[in-house]
Chain A
Amino acid sequence: MGQDKLKHYEGVLSAVHTLEYPYTRSVGRVIGTFLAGLREGRILGIRGAGGSVLVPPSEYDPVTTESLTEMLDVGDTGVVTTWSWVEAPRAKHPLQKPFAWALVKLDGATTSLLHAVDAGDEKRMKTGMRVRVRWRAERKGGISDIECFEPAEAKS
């Protein structure tokens, strides 16, 4: 916007407006079990058609549409399959310092979970890197029970 345009708008009112509402919903047996698992510090997947393991779990197989029931624990370490660096996190982001949004394929899973990776520096991020869950000390049964992932070699 040019300086003239800005002058033109001087004196026009503006106000911050927040639209907020709590949205309560049922999550169903499969996601409900997944969330309860997170509270216990476990990551649960579900056996899909053809031996795949879906994490996060879904109630139906995405290819065959058959109903799925067999839930199983997967590892809390995995591999970054793709990622995007966030240089300037926003207030509601999981980390208040630069981090990566990444798809993480956990050991034992065939699909990837979207979460934050605290790598400290973009230069450290790469596809194929091994990461480990950093659990939140106080867990409530939500995806943010996983605080983030961190490079796996950091605490080995």
Chain B
Amino acid sequence: MSTQQGRPLPDPIKMVTIPSRLDYTITPGEAPTRFLRGILEGRILAERCPKCGKVYMPPRGSCATCAIPTKEQVELSAKGTVTTFCVVNLPFYGQAVEIPYVCASVVLDGADLPFFCLLAECPVEEVRPGMRVEAVWCEPSERKPSLENIRYMKPTGEPDATYESFKEHL
């Protein structure tokens, strides 16, 4: 193919890589800030709704159901129960953990919302709903105001929790 003016056209470029980038400043707000400052000390500070009694971990500062502030702080232990989980077998761009690994939904004792975390020190085929787990924390010197201070959860070895005990949190 050539142009009208007779000059041959260049071979087309087939692919382009366009880096997409968004720079944010994240301000988590007051309740998550209290939570993250607690995490820095290795403490898990959840908040209870004064109306329905649900305990939010991490706290958002208000109850999603009752739409009122959750002012009461509740310190939770770093032990909980696996509700659901997934085994990641596929590598992907930006991956931080070697595959296969387990991403689990864990509800801490006394909390009413599960949170996502890594589950380790356990063969992937042994992970199951109801499994009792506890947090493995970063060294205090490595800690940041981040949920990543819980490096992962590991099995406690206790007997499994009954389905009845966590079915509300699935």
Contacts and interface: CB of A to CB of B under 8 A. Distances in A.
Interface of A: 9, 11-33, 35-37, 39-40, 42, 44, 47, 70-73, 92, 141-142
Interface stretch (B23-31, B74-82, B107-115): B23-31
B27 A12 contact: yes
B16 interface: yes
B26 A22 contact: no
B159 interface: no
Contacts of A30: 12
Interface residues of B, number: 34
Given A12-B30, A15-B26, A21-B20, A36 B93 contact: no
Contact of B27 (A13, A27, A37, A141): A13
Given A15-B25, A23-B19, A47-B4, 18 more contacts: A12-B33, A13-B32, A13-B33, A13-B36, A14-B27, A16-B23, A19-B21, A22-B18, A30-B12, A31-B12, A32-B12, A32-B13, A33-B9, A33-B13, A35-B13, A35-B16, A44-B9, A72-B3
Contacts of A13: 27-28, 32-33, 36-37, 145
B15 interface: yes
B61 to A, nearest CB: 11
Q: Is the interface of A mostly helix, strand, loop or mixed?
A: mixed
A37 B11 CA distance: 9
B157 interface: no
Contact of A22 (B19, B22, B32, B33): B19
A21 B10 contact: no
Given A14-B25, A17-B24, A25 B16 contact: yes
B56 to A, nearest CB: 18
Contacts, number: 109
B16 A14 contact: no
A23 B138 CA distance: 34
Contacts of A73: 3, 5, 7
Given A16-B23, A16-B24, A36 B18 contact: no
A70 B10 contact: no
B9 to A, nearest CB: 6
Contacts of A25: 15-16, 18
A24 B16 contact: yes
Given A13-B28, A44-B9, A73-B3, A32 B14 contact: yes
A85 to B, nearest CB: 24
B1 interface: yes
A38 to B, nearest CB: 9
B17 interface: yes
A154 to B, nearest CB: 27
Contacts of A29: 12
28 contacts: A11-B33, A12-B27, A12-B30, A12-B33, A13-B32, A14-B27, A16-B23, A17-B24, A18-B21, A19-B22, A20-B20, A20-B22, A21-B94, A22-B17, A24-B16, A24-B18, A28-B12, A32-B13, A32-B14, A35-B12, A36-B10, A36-B13, A42-B10, A71-B3, A71-B9, A72-B4, A141-B16, A142-B16
